[in-house]
Chains A and B, each alone.
Chain A
Amino acid sequence: MKISLNWIKSIIERDQCSADPTKIGIDTLVEKIGAQLGAVEEVIDLGKKYEGIVVAKVESCLKHPNADKLNIALIDDGQKIKTVKRDKQGLVQVVHGAKNVIAGQLVAWMPPGATVPSTYDKDPFILEAKELRGVVSHGMIASAKELGLGDDHSGILVIDESAKPGQAFAKVFGLDDYIIDIENKMFTHRPDLFGQLGIARELAGIQNHVFKSPAWYKENPTLSKPNGRAILKLSITNQSPKLVPRFCGVVIKDVKIGESPLWLRTRLAAVGIKSINNIVDITNFLMMETAQPLHAYDYDKLTNGNLGARLAKTGEELTVLGGKKIKLAKEDIVITSGDRVVGLGGVMGGADTEVSNNTTKIVLEVANFDMNSVRKTAMRHGLFTEAASRFTKNQSSKQNLAVLIKAIDEIKKLAGGRQASQIIDKKVSDYDERVIHVNSEFVNSRLGLELSPVTIKSILENVEFSVGISDGNLSIKVPFWRTDIAIAEDIVEEVGRLYGYDHLKLDLPERSLSSPDSNTKLELKQQIRQILSTAGANEVLSYSFVPSSLLEKVGQDPKNSYHIRNALSPQLQYYRQTLGLNLIEKVHPNIKAGYDNFALFEIGKCYFKGELDKEGLPKELERIALVVANKNSSGSSFFEAKKFCDYLLKELGIDSFVYEPVAAAYKPTRATYYEPSRSAHLKISGHMAGWVGEFKPQVNAEFKLPQFCAGFDLHVEELLTNASANIYQPLNRFPSLEQDFCLRSATKYSYAELEDFMRQQLDKLAGLHGINYDIAALDIFQKPADKNLRQTTWRITLWHPDRTLTTEEANKLLDIIAKAAKNKLKAERV
């Protein structure tokens, strides 16, 4: 929302305000706006853009001696510009190509050194004295386009107001202005702040000045009557009263379409609106002032003087202003004339009823449209017009008549014409005046302030609320333009903001000594981060979204992923099903960057379509994945990934887990990148807790992984359920004995089966004698030629808590185990 300070001043100058809110200076004002109105995006010193440009009078016109299309003008600038070369009469010579330069005219002269305003923001073009076909031109006479005041570049801009040669152009036309651009987002709920009038009111309010709206801006103005006998027919039919709560119109005839006076063009230009013609400019001017959009139709291009509002029918089309043809949807509100669609309600008018240079009769429409419907229509057709951006803020329908009558007046003044119909006002019903009842104590309790009811009253009345007080109870009449004020909290906001949030007392809430609950899952994840980074792994964060191509590369079906239907980038089409895949993708770039041996891990969420949680929403599958790679190693990388997994589980105090082999033919739907014959399922207390494994050759090739690369995907929930504090064993006071024990067994026994056997035996025998033990694998050996037998060696540590253990005792115990191994496993002690 662009604010023109000069515009604000012109509203204030109508003597409606107790003091000029702009006089505190631009810097202080901008700071105050930021603190009490909304974030300022940009402040533009418009005067700078027009710096150096002066009003000049054309004294005589000559033909260019060497060029048919060029002319020479001798101009009088009141000898304002000092550095320019003049003739004996003190006139300046300027070459131009315009046809409309006549002696006696006032023009805008851009002397050497001035910047062409239309180029100011992009690629500034600075004028200089320059020879054109043998004649020196000192600067240029400006066209409207060069001044940024319209599209007209067919001729120079002729100044129509009283001005004197040598006056600064910007000063004469109010372009010595500051434009303050406030983020639109700030005003999503403030229909009134999309007009300069609303801003002026607010600028007064935040400085504790009293503001009064102009007399014409009222809810129930006296309707003006048609002038003269020749009355033209006007009918308004509203078939969608729910979506079009009010529709007002009037006919004006004998208007003379032409250029707007320069003051109006400059005013519009200051807030970024292009001048079209006097009628359109007046409607735009009033929209920029009051935030109420209006539209003018050429009466003769309507059917039987009829306007209507309804929803579009399937198949209907409309060519909007500017020539774009759109296919209407049946949810679009359209303006019709007879059977014909002539406008997109609240968004844009149609091209074929546009006011043109030949128009003599017009119909003015001041209507109101449902904000949600306008928003959808604007989005559907990509038409984000000034009108749409205002209607989507829920404009008050109570300002329609005031704006319409004001428009009739302005048109009479600037384009002539007479009112040629009654004002037609189709409205659903008057909504009640809003009165909010709130206690001053409530306001104070929400703000932490101690404002008296009288202070609250005056703060609100500055911006035209009307407040009654009885016993601290306030009854607050909401002004008709404030559709956003509905509840007591809205009053709290209003009072706090206008009073100034810098007055708030910064007290911390009182709290009890009870400690907040801890979040064990979050703490577990923090612990895992610590553990894995201590193991030398690097935590990464990768996107939750993946492209279908990535899923397909590892054989994950995109159908199992939630699909994002509006992603700007094709890289973000699908929610990930696993974390490991994202890590695999990040291995090669790091190898390429010169890292030979590393482990990446991530803790995050993924989803699998169809799996729902208690709320009926997609279940958040929390995972920990790790990938370890070593460019310079060979062999079975599986054990490297397992090493990290073992370490993690040990540090988390989890001991009841097993690695189960996966059948080579197993076809997982998610962990598709693991090679089943070289992977294991991790089971904790019998529950599936994840995969550990090497990757399929195709995956290795696809992602350029080194030969030695493996990883795991684990379930956070399972770790959380089973994590426990470390177990403490009292230190042994007596020396322990270490014995190596080697078994030669059939290869059909897995290592785990052998170790389980050993532990069972040790539990039984050692327990019998009150002996404690420890067992650790030392070596696994198999003769290359021998497919049937394998030797496994353990180091067994034994100790007794109460005495020194003898070697004999230990040997005896191990002999018994060796015997049991022979009997039960047919295994030989070596």
Chain B
Amino acid sequence: MEYRHPEIANVAKQLKARLKQTQDKKAVLRAPELLALIERIKTLPVGKRATFGKEVNLLKAELEKLVRESLFPKPSTLTPIDVTAPFDTNLSAEDRPKLLPAENGSRHPLMTELELILDIFARMGFTAVESRELDDDWHMFGSLNFPPGHPARDDYDTFVTDEELVAPAHTSTMQNRVLKAGKKQLDQGQPIAVVIPGRTFRNEDVDASHEHTFYQLEGVYVAKGIHAGNLAATIKAWLSNYYGREIEIKIQPFYFPFTEPSFEFAASCPFCDKKGCSVCKHSGWIELGGCGMIHPNVLKEAGIDAVKYSGFAWGFGIDRLVMLKYGIEDIRHFHSGNLKFLRQFT
């Protein structure tokens, strides 16, 4: 680190040298030279105070880091370890490594919920395929009937890399792959029935109810003679299963380039049975996700005969389900790594 103020540079040099020699490393942080610099800040004219003060703070931070580092023994000074041994030499039986108490352990609530949801879909006949977290534009948009430059792309605030790769904003980025892979199955008279869980991304600012990183589950079903009523029935069936009670569903028109017709779906509020509560904001309904009949161009892109076969797809967020379920007030807890949050789950 270079310091522009000669006074500070000088103290830096002195104190770094002292740090090497002294036994009491922490004393360096209380050195009179450093305290004098801090005192100096107040005496300076306002115009110079900022730059000087900033450098003093940098020096303080650098010294703190060096002191911390010096407190860790240098690897070369430590007794070498035998990495093939189950425990260190001369360790009494009670000091040997131990696992932590099982009751401290926890699985992330998003992942636990996903397992639960995947289990329901497995019972309904769906195979799970995980989504990618870095993909190309063609899978995210092109294969899904978003021509280049299409304004519908604006609705997906997508992260883009220097190579024009994208952080998928929806798990639909896997649709073309699962359709292609399932084509053989269709020819053998079996439906394509796949659910796609995955981490998805939107380039937006984070607050208590917005995250740039979230989790989605996509479902794809293709067979002969599939219609929009099948779609609504399938979503209703899984929701009723998930909430352990009869759920009503409402589908409303929407627009996605990759489905035609496209819908948004809402579930009757499972927390108040449509009577109105704070969870559903007294509307009796909870909006959950998007769905629709797969656009023939999307089927064709995967080599599937769009006259002979039809299908539906739907997607929804896992985060929201979990927040509703436990009444989690801030979406930022999910990625906080905060044990106070994590250990509340099993």
Contacts and interface: CB of A to CB of B under 8 A. Distances in A.
A590 B264 CA distance: 40
Interface in A518-556: 518-519, 521-522, 526, 529-530, 532-545
A737 interface: no
Contacts of B340: 593
B68 interface: yes
A739 B203 CA distance: 64
B75 A509 contact: no
Contacts of A269: none
A521 B130 contact: yes
B118 to A, nearest CB: 7
Contacts of A185: 155, 254-255
A170 to B, nearest CB: 29
Interface string B142-181: 0000011111101100011111010100000000000000
Interface string B99-122: 111111111101100010010001
A533 B151 contact: no
Interface in B223-247: 223, 225-230, 232-234, 236-237
Interface size class of A (residues with CB under 8 A): 35 or more
A819 B285 CA distance: 80
Contacts of A38: 252-255
**Looking at B105, B132, B223, which has the most chain A CB atoms within 10 Å of its CB?**
B105
Interface in B75-128: 75-76, 78, 80-91, 93, 95-108, 110-111, 115, 118, 122, 125-128
B335 A541 contact: yes
Contacts of A379: 154
Interface string A746-767: 0000111100000000000000
Nearest to A536: B100
Contacts of B226: 509
A659 B204 CA distance: 43
A537 B87 contact: no
Interface residues of B, number: 118
Given A372-B149, A375-B149, A704-B68, A780 B102 contact: no
A interface, over-half SS: mixed
Contact of A781 (B90, B118, B128, B228): B90
Interface stretch (B2-10, B38-46, B133-141, B273-281): B133-141
A522 B225 contact: no
Given A392-B151, A489-B293, A509-B223, A186 B255 contact: yes
Interface string A16-35: 00000000000000000011
Nearest to A513: B125
Given A504-B229, A514-B190, A522-B118, A617 B339 contact: no
A600 B163 CA distance: 33
Nearest to A394: B151
A563 interface: yes
Contacts of B154: 375, 379
Interface string A237-251: 000000000000000
**Looking at B257, B295, B337, which has the most chain A CB atoms within 10 Å of its CB?**
B337
Nearest to B149: A372
Nearest to A630: B100
Given A185-B255, A446-B310, A780-B90, A519 B127 contact: yes
B99 A536 contact: yes
B105 to A, nearest CB: 4
B227 A447 contact: yes
Contacts of B237: 508
B83 A661 contact: yes
Contacts of A529: 107, 111
A522 to B, nearest CB: 5
B310 to A, nearest CB: 6
B339 A593 contact: yes
B144 to A, nearest CB: 14
Contact of A635 (B80, B88, B199, B232): B88
Given A489-B296, A638-B83, A569 B205 contact: yes
A518 B206 CA distance: 36
Nearest to A633: B95
Contacts, number: 339
A480 interface: no
B228 A504 contact: yes
Given A536-B104, A562-B134, A497 B253 contact: yes
Interface string A53-79: 000000000000000000000000000
Given A511-B191, A677-B75, A598 B100 contact: yes
Interface stretch (A90-98, A114-122, A471-479, A694-702): A694-702
Given A392-B151, A501-B251, A568 B69 contact: no
A646 B86 contact: yes
Contacts of A782: 89-90
Given A564-B159, A599-B100, A487 B203 contact: no
A563 B115 CA distance: 32
Given A188-B152, A562-B163, A777 B85 contact: yes
Contacts of A535: 99-100, 102, 105
Given A565-B162, A640-B97, A489 B227 contact: no
Interface of B: 65-66, 68-69, 71-76, 78, 80-91, 93, 95-108, 110-111, 115, 118, 122, 125-130, 132-136, 147-152, 154-155, 159-163, 165, 167, 190-191, 193, 199, 201, 203-206, 212-213, 221, 223, 225-230, 232-234, 236-237, 250-255, 257, 260-264, 293, 295-296, 310, 334-335, 337-340, 342-343, 346
Interchain residue pairs A-B with the least CB separation, the first 6: A536-B100, A752-B84, A448-B229, A586-B337, A448-B227, A701-B69
